[in-house]
Amino acid sequence: MAPKGPAAPAWPRDRREDPGSLERLIRRGTAIIQRPDTHWVFRLRLRRMLFSAVLLAPASHGGLGLDRAGALGLRPDRMSELRQGIGIAEDPSACPACATWSWLDVIGTNSGWSHGSVRALGHRRDE
Domain borders along the chain are 20-123
Q: Summarize pLDDT for 4-37 with one digit per residue, the tens.
A: 455 677 788 888 888 899 999 999 999 999 999 9
Q: Summarize pLDDT for 44-67 with one digit per residue, the tens.
A: 999 999 999 999 999 999 999 998
Chain centroid offset of residue 32 CA: 14
CA distances from 77 to 73, 80, 82, 83 (A): 11, 5, 9, 10
Indicate if the pLDDT at residue 86 is higher than 50: yes
Q: Which of 28-32, 42-46, 81-85, 109-113 has the lowest mean pLDDT?
A: 109-113
What pLDDT is recorded for position 3? 44
Above pLDDT 70, what percent of the chain?
86
- pTM for the whole structure: 0.83
Indicate if the pLDDT at residue 127 is higher than 90: no
Q: Give the containing element (helix H, strand E) for 114.
A: none
What pLDDT is recorded for position 58? 92
Half-sphere exposure of 70 (CA within 13 A, CB side): 20
Closest CA to 23 of 116, 93, 121: 93
